[in-house]
Amino acid sequence: MQNYQNSSTYELENSFSEKSFTVAMAINQDNKILITSSLNYGKAFQFKWGSLKTMKLFQTQQRYITNINFFKKNSQFVTCSIDSSIIIWSSILLSLPKYLQKLNSHKHSIYCLAIRPNDENLIISGGVDCTIKFLVQKIIMVLLVDNQRGDWMDKCIIDKLRWKLINKLLFKFIYTCDLLNKLITMDCKTEDNYPKIWVQTQFHSQ
Domain assignment present for residue 200? The answer is no
**In this structure, are strands 122-127 and 110-115 parallel, antiparallel, or unpaired?**
antiparallel
Average pLDDT, integer, range 164-190: 43
Least confident of 66-70, 151-155, 178-182: 178-182
In a domain, 64, yes or no: yes
- Residue 82: the pLDDT is 87
The count of domains in the chain is 1
Question: In terms of pLDDT, which residue wins out, 59 or 44?
Answer: 44
Note down the domain range covering 47. Answer: 1-104
CATH number of the domain at 34, please: 2.120.10.30
As a whole number of angstroms, the distance between CA 69 and CA 181 comes to 26
Q: Is the pLDDT of residue 75 over 60?
A: yes
Q: Is residue 18 part of a domain?
A: yes
CA distance 149 to 163: 32
Enter the pTM of the model. Answer: 0.66
Neighbours of 37 (CB within 10 A): 22
How many helices (H) and strands (E) the chain has is answered by: 0, 16
Do the domain assignments include residue 203? no
Name the least confident of 71-75, 141-145, 183-187.
Answer: 141-145
175 or 12, which is more confident? 12
pLDDT band at 27 (very low <50, low <70, confident <90, very high): very high
pLDDT of residue 68: 93
pLDDT confidence of residue 160:
37
Range 48-74 average pLDDT: 82
- Flag whether 123 is in a domain: no
pLDDT band at 131 (very low <50, low <70, confident <90, very high): confident
The pLDDT-based confidence of 69 (bands split at 50, 70, 90) is: very high
Domain-embedded: residue 30: yes
Alpha carbons 142 and 90: distance in angstroms, whole number:
20
How confident is the model at residue 150, as a pLDDT? 56
Residue 6 confidence (pLDDT): 63
Residue 27 is assigned to a structural domain of this protein: yes
Checking if the pLDDT of 81 tops 80, the result is: yes
Q: 48 pLDDT exceeds 60? A: yes
Q: What is the mean pLDDT of residues 28-57?
A: 83
* Within a domain: 169: no
Tell me which residue of 114, 206, 106 sits closest to 158, measured CA to CA. 106
- Mean pLDDT, the chain, whole residue set: 69
